């Protein structure tokens, strides 16, 4: 328990104080070419920023929802939104005379991809993610709300950042320096055992929501990427996770949970999380529970595969051991009907292309189309963007990729798009 009663988190700090600092750390004001902080200045209900008009014509259009392929397709984008998409004959009469044209002959046209687990700490990382094909994303948390600043950057300048669901700071036993940076978290620095009590857990969730987080990120196991930690060791119990979920739900938000062990995965799922992250050793009983509850699985195969190339022998052995186990879990989840979402878990300034995660989904046993769905329609549903991202249809966002080849034959083309369009603007 805390040493003394704590006042409720202050909503007044959200725009004028704490988040102004997060915008400075993220470099979003510099990216906009203004001294004003987008996180501090723009109200959370602000309308999206500048969006473009564009006609993309002549390519081969793939609809991930249906698998339908349209040759010599045309996509009409007005004000950043798709107004028409289909064959040239079907779209005839809907082509605006004043919109710029983008020739897509010899290319495939896909909706922009969704990275459902990424850590975007800076404007530069956000721009890199877009250029590598992720036009929408969900944050896996940042150390000081930088993702909230990036989200506001995306609203004001869509070409500079993915449409983002921000998680704010991690709900974890040791908050580190974060408790010293946010006045509403500093009382937690007095806790001998860290963020473990029901009151402390609720506090971190409530402060995140007061800062404007869209989702809440917590953990049940230690990290795989730190050799001194045991990723199968459990840090929160079912009861503690339930406190986090309940606090998030009171604010109308879902929870994503870092996990590895089967018992940890089961505790997290039965506590009511929205999506299971990593989950290398998730077992059949938990997968069945996930199917029953509609819990998503975001395996971040890219991150686990990356461990195998580490110069640290402990991490390299984990990568070699965990990856085949995780691939089997992904295929089992898919065959059971557990919804899957693609996420790279990119962090530390290095952004991996979300197309690589799609390749690994296919390597785990999914068909090319089903693998593509994990980074389009599937991930969009997880993010609450089912009517916005993941398809190129009337009313959807004008986010698309031009690919140099057929992704149904060679998924590697997703890792290096020839062109990325975000809200009708070339990224």
Question: What are residue 60's DSSP bridge partners?
Answer: 108
Q: Is the pLDDT of residue 44 over 50?
A: no
**The pLDDT of residue 264:** 98
Average pLDDT over residues 159-179: 95
Query: What pairing do the DSSP bridges indicate for beta strands 163-165 and 425-426?
Result: unpaired
What sign for the dihedral angle of Cα 427, 303, 346, 361?
Answer: positive
Asked if residue 204 and residue 143 are part of one domain, the reply reads yes
Average pLDDT over residues 141-149: 94
Residue 35 included in any domain: no
Average pLDDT over residues 352-373: 98
Asked if residue 196 and residue 84 are part of one domain, the reply reads no
What CATH number is attached to the domain comprising 205? 3.20.20.140
**The pLDDT of residue 11:** 52
How many residues in total does the chain contain?
A: 427
Q: Which range marks the domain in which residue 166 is found?
A: 113-389
Residue 295 included in any domain: yes
How far CA 47 is from CA of 60, 225, 324, 342, 351, in Å, comes to 32, 39, 44, 28, 28
Asked if residue 261 and residue 318 are part of one domain, the reply reads yes
**The pLDDT of residue 41:** 42
Asked if residue 135 and residue 229 are part of one domain, the reply reads yes
**The pLDDT of residue 42:** 42
Rounded Cα distance between 17 and 15, Å, is 6
Average pLDDT over residues 33-49: 46
Average pLDDT over residues 278-305: 98
Asked if residue 318 and residue 419 are part of one domain, the reply reads no
Q: Is the pLDDT of residue 12 over 70?
A: no
Rounded Cα distance between 401 and 212, Å, is 30
**The pLDDT of residue 347:** 93
Of 29-33, 157-161, 412-416, give the lowest mean pLDDT range: 29-33
> Radius of gyration (Cα) for the chain, nearest Å?
21
Asked if residue 322 and residue 217 are part of one domain, the reply reads yes
**The pLDDT of residue 29:** 65
pLDDT per position as a tens digit, 330-344: 999 999 999 999 999
CB 123 within 8 A of CB 31: yes
Rounded Cα distance between 221 and 236, Å, is 7
What CATH number is attached to the domain comprising 415? 2.30.40.10
């Amino acid at each position: 328990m805390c040493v003394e009663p704590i006042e409720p988190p202050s909503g007044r700090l959200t725009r004028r104080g704490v988040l102004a600092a997060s915008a400075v750390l993220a470099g979003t004001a510099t990216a906009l070419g203004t001294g004003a902080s987008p996180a501090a200045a723009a109200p959370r209900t602000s309308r999206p920023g500048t969006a473009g008009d564009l006609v993309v014509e002549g390519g081969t259009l793939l609809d991930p929802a249906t698998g339908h392929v349209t040759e010599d397709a045309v996509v009409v984008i007005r004000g950043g939104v798709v107004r028409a998409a289909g064959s040239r004959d079907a779209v005839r009469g809907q082509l605006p005379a004043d919109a710029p044209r983008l020739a897509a002959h010899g290319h495939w046209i896909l909706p922009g991809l969704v990275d459902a687990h990424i850590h975007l700490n800076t404007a530069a990382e956000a721009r890199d993610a877009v250029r590598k094909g992720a036009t929408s994303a969900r944050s896996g948390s940042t150390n000081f709300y930088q993702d909230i600043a990036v989200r506001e950057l995306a609203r004001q300048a869509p070409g500079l950042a993915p449409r983002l669901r921000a998680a704010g700071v991690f709900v974890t036993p040791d908050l580190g320096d974060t408790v010293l940076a946010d006045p509403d978290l500093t009382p937690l620095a007095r806790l001998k055992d860290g963020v473990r009590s029901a009151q402390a857990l609720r506090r971190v969730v409530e402060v995140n929501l007061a800062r404007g987080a869209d989702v809440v990120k917590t953990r049940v196991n230690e990290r795989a990427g730190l050799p001194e930690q045991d990723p199968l060791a459990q840090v929160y119990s079912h009861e503690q996770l339930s406190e986090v979920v309940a606090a998030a739900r009171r604010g109308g938000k879902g929870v994503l949970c870092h996990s590895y062990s089967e018992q940890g995965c089961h505790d997290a799922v039965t506590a009511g999380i929205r999506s299971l992250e990593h989950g290398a050793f998730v077992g059949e009983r938990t997968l069945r529970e996930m199917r029953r509850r509609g819990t998503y699985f975001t395996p971040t195969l890219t991150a686990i595969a990356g461990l195998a190339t580490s110069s640290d022998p402990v991490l390299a052995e984990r990568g070699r051991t965990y990856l085949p186990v995780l691939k089997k879990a992904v295929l089992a989840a898919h065959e059971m009907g557990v919804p899957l979402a693609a996420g790279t878990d990119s962090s530390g300034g290095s952004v991996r292309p979300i197309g690589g995660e799609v390749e690994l989904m296919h390597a785990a046993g999914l068909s090319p189309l089903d693998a593509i769905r994990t980074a389009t329609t599937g991930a969009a549903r997880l993010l609450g963007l089912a009517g916005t991202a993941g398809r190129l249809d009337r009313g959807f966002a004008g986010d698309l990729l031009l690919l140099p080849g057929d992704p149904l034959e060679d998924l590697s083309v997703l890792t290096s798009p020839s062109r990325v369009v975000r809200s009708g603007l070339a990224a």
